Amino acid sequence: MKGVYPILKRELRSYFASPLAYVILVVFQLVSAMFFFLNLKGFLHLQFDPSYQLLREELNLNTVIIIPYFDTMSIVLLFIIPLITMRLLADERKSHTAELLFTSPIKLRSIILGKYLAALILLIIMLCLSSLNIVVLMAHGNPDLGVVLSSYLGLLLLGASFLAIGIFASSLSSSQLVAAVIAFGILLLLWLVGASSDTESSIFGYISLISHFKNFGKGIIELKDLAYYLSVIYIGLFLTHTALDSERWR
Amino acid sequence: MNPSWQKGYSTKSVYLQTPFHQGIGYVNLRINAAMIQVQNVSKHYGELVAVDNISFQLEKGDVLGFLGPNGAGKTTTMRIITGYMPPTKGSVYISDIDVFEDPQAAKSHIGYLPENPPLYEDMVVREYLDFVADIKQVPNREKNGRIHYVMEKCGIVNVGKRIIGHLSKGYKQRVGIAQALINDPEVLVLDEPTSGLDPMQIIEIRELIKGLSGERTVILSTHILPEVTMICSKVVIINKGKIVLEESLERLTNKIDGIENILLKTRYWGEEIQEKIISLPNVSDIRLGLSNELIIEPKKGVDIREDLTDLVMQNGWGLLEMRPVVHNLEEVFLRAISTEGN
């Protein structure tokens, strides 16, 4: 696994050398803060609603703010991740640096892994920044920390799966735009395919990216969901490797 | 003995056995210490045959000029040698390591400048070289020294802190060469290193390449023919994926000198001139040039200029012009390519 670190370092540097990383971080932060604020406002509204008294048990911080917040975040990620991954490999091809990478004495899998980890670090930074919203909530109330943590784990795994699919899309084209569109298309398909069914009842429910996230939102960490996301990540990276390797043989 | 060894096919791992012992282990028998061996390499892109059964080998210190018209397969061959893409058939050895059996080991001996220098435009020159040194696994304690050395050698010390995207084309090319040199490679593969540069920069880059050869084995593709005579020690011309000429430069220039023709132009013009000239003892052939001049081919190695002047004077034809027609590399190149075409 020699060579992973220099690739990762360069990739991260390149994210932050261009405005891209900052724009993505700011947009994600703004959008998440906005959704958080709307949920919070809805919750405060309920406080003065007389019927709220009857449903006090059900309509707490978790059900009104935390769960919907993480659901929306997962959709926001769906839009943002293709923008993070689009340049990873497409740009190497466009700027002819692929020839440098592929003639260096490092393995193809180290290159892919380095790039993937750099994108993953950006994702983690993004999620950490957005946790400020939750910190504010903690200061003034007591949300269920277990649910928050499992939701973050779910969001991280979901985002990491998106990244793996995104890097695969990026390996297919030398145009960043095409790579982003392909990634977005695949993600949307995998998202919607099981929108109407759950993981148990049908195969579509099982392969859907969204249905596995639901448990995390409820504070349940199940092995099958972990296994699902880890497999998606592995398959994404494996396909990337295959795509790049087979291109050389053509 | 295995007959394939006698063709110069490099080393074999051989298990040495003696009558007295079980064996004393594997040893590498060096039959021929070639630095680069290209053996029967072909590359097909679907129906298109880009490289067709190419073989050549280079010794340590050789500088190979790789010539050919556009689309002849130069870049493809270089990409195969550097391990960027595998050949459809055949194999490549870099200092006896098969590039596709053990790519990591082989690639660490190579420095490669592709046709378009592989530069990250958003990086600072020094940072970029640092990155390349890392992925080429230059040991940390040597890294700074190497970076400093290549920057000095390529004349980019003064732009070390600038963003690559803002550099001029000549400087970008130098950074590209610096990148190829960073791991002190024994084999240097340069794909059109002087293309797109201004005349001054071309001279500088040529000097640089000349200074780099010596210990290194260099493959250099170009379509500027004089460049080859200036830098290279060996020439391979390929056309439509096939080698049409492979010669050391020394022999090539001898060949050229040996068949130096004489151009003759006289005021008087008549059939008998040709007859009289051909009857001179040392003339082997005569043909008509483009505008009423004669191209006279002497017998090998004989200077016939004096005989010719005498003949013209005696007959009073009126000598207007007489000069040797230099057979330059261009002519050899064109001839090599056109004979293949027929």
CB pairs under 8 A between A and B: 78
Cα–Cα nearest to A66, from A197, A221, A216: A216
Residues B96, B39 contacting (CB under 8 angstroms):
no
Mean pLDDT value of segment A225-234: 93
Residue A249 at interface with chain B, using a CB cutoff of 8 Å: yes
Rounded distance, CA B180 to CA B110, Å? 8
Q: Which of B80, B107, B120, B122 to mutate to test the interface with A (most CBs of A within 10 A)?
A: B120
Interface contact A249-B79, CB threshold 8 A = no
Q: Which of A166-180, A210-224, A230-244, B71-85 bottoms out in mean pLDDT, i.e. has the lowest?
A: A210-224
Structural domain range at position A209: 4-249
Res A98 pLDDT > 80: yes
Domain match, B283 and B224 both = no
- Say what the alpha-carbon torsion angle B298, B300, B306, B311 is, to the nearest 10 degrees: -30
Domain presence at residue B138: yes
Question: Closest Cα of chain B to A167: distance in Å?
Answer: 19
Domain match, B6 and B149 both = no
Domain presence at residue B321: yes
Nearest CB partner across the interface for A96, out of B83, B86, B114:
B114
Q: So what's the pLDDT on residue A198?
A: 57
**Domains held by chain A: number:** 1
Write the ipTM: 0.87
DSSP lists the bridge partners of residue B322 as B264
Nearest CB partner across the interface for B132, out of A9, A95, A100:
A100
Q: So what's the pLDDT on residue B256?
A: 57
- Kindly provide the b/e burial profile for residues A86-112, where b requires at least 16 CB atoms within 10 angstroms of the residue's own CB: bbbbbbbbebebbbbbbbbbbbbbbbb
Q: So what's the pLDDT on residue B255?
A: 59
Interface contact A6-B103, CB threshold 8 A = no
Q: Which of B80, B107, B134 to mutate to test the interface with A (most CBs of A within 10 A)?
A: B134
Q: What are the chain B neighbours of A105 within 8 Å (beta carbons)?
A: 103-105, 107-108, 135-137
The last residue of one of the domains, among B224, B254, B284, is B254
Mean pLDDT value of segment B129-156: 92
Q: So what's the pLDDT on residue B258?
A: 52
Res B279 pLDDT > 90: no
Quote the DSSP letter at residue B222.
Answer: E
At A140, the amino acid letter reads H
Residues B221, B74 contacting (CB under 8 angstroms):
yes
Rounded distance, CA B113 to CA B93, Å? 19
Nearest CB partner across the interface for B84, out of A17, A97, A103:
A103
Domain match, B18 and B45 both = no
Residue A98 at interface with chain B, using a CB cutoff of 8 Å: yes
Res A232 pLDDT > 90: yes
Interface contact A101-B135, CB threshold 8 A = yes
Domain presence at residue B227: yes
Structural domain range at position B116: 38-254
Domain of B322, CATH number, reads 3.30.70.100
Domain presence at residue B307: yes
Interface contact B136-A18, CB threshold 8 A = no
Mean pLDDT of chain B: 81
Q: What is the end-to-end Cα distance of chain B in Å, rounded?
A: 40
At A56, the amino acid letter reads R
Residues A107-120 have pLDDT tens digits of 999 999 999 999 99
∠ CA A101-A104-A107 to the nearest 5 degrees? Answer: 85
Domain match, B228 and B104 both = yes
Nearest CB partner across the interface for B83, out of A10, A98, A103:
A103
Element (H, E) at A214: helix A211-217
> Residue A140: is it exposed, middle or buried by C-beta count within 10 angstroms (0-12/13-18/19+)?
exposed
Quote the DSSP letter at residue B157.
Answer: G
DSSP sequence for A153-172? HHHHHHHHHHHHHHHHHHTT
Residue A16 at interface with chain B, using a CB cutoff of 8 Å: no
Interface contact B85-A249, CB threshold 8 A = yes
Residue A1 at interface with chain B, using a CB cutoff of 8 Å: no
Model confidence at B330, pLDDT cuts 50, 70, 90, reads low
Rounded distance, CA A7 to CA A101, Å? 9
Interface contact B114-A100, CB threshold 8 A = yes
More confident residue, B30 or A25: A25
Residues 6+ apart with CB under 8 A from B136: A104, A105, B108, B182, B183
Domain presence at residue B173: yes
At B240, the amino acid letter reads K
Domain match, B203 and B309 both = no
Q: What residues 17-76 of chain A have any CB closer than 8 A to a CB of chain B?
A: 17-18
Residues B258-269 have pLDDT tens digits of 556 788 888 887
Helices (H), ranges, chain B = 3-6, 74-81, 103-107, 125-135, 140-153, 169-181, 199-212, 225-231, 249-258, 271-278, 305-315, 329-341
Alpha-carbon separation of residue B318 from B296, B311, B322 (angstroms): 17, 11, 11
Residues 6+ apart with CB under 8 A from A245: A108
Interface contact B131-A104, CB threshold 8 A = no
Residues A134-159 have pLDDT tens digits of 888 888 877 788 888 999 999 999 99
Q: So what's the pLDDT on residue A41?
A: 87
- Kindly provide the b/e burial profile for residues B204-243, where b requires at least 16 CB atoms within 10 angstroms of the residue's own CB: bbbebbeebbeebbbbbbbbebebbeebbbbbbbbbbbbb
More confident residue, A112 or A215: A112
Antiparallel, parallel or unpaired: β B261-266 and B234-239: unpaired
Res B186 pLDDT > 70: yes
- Say what the alpha-carbon torsion angle B180, B184, B187, B191 is, to the nearest 10 degrees: 10
Interface contact A95-B119, CB threshold 8 A = yes
Q: Which of A223-227, B64-68, B204-208 bottoms out in mean pLDDT, i.e. has the lowest?
A: B204-208
Interface contact A99-B112, CB threshold 8 A = yes
Residues B85-112 have pLDDT tens digits of 999 999 999 988 898 888 889 999 999 9
Res B45 pLDDT > 70: yes
**Domains held by chain B: number:** 3
Cα–Cα nearest to B116, from A28, A26, A98: A98
Mean pLDDT of chain A: 87
Residues A36-73 have pLDDT tens digits of 889 888 888 877 777 766 666 667 777 778 888 888 89
Residue tagged 């982003």 (tokens): A180
Domain match, B69 and B179 both = yes
Domain of B142, CATH number, reads 3.40.50.300
Domain match, B65 and B85 both = yes
Q: What are the chain A neighbours of B136 within 8 Å (beta carbons)?
A: 104-105
Domain match, B272 and B320 both = yes
Domain match, B2 and B81 both = no
Share of chain B above pLDDT 70, in %: 83
Question: Closest Cα of chain A to B121: distance in Å?
Answer: 8
Res B295 pLDDT > 90: no
Q: So what's the pLDDT on residue B132?
A: 95
Domain presence at residue B15: yes
Domain match, B19 and B44 both = no
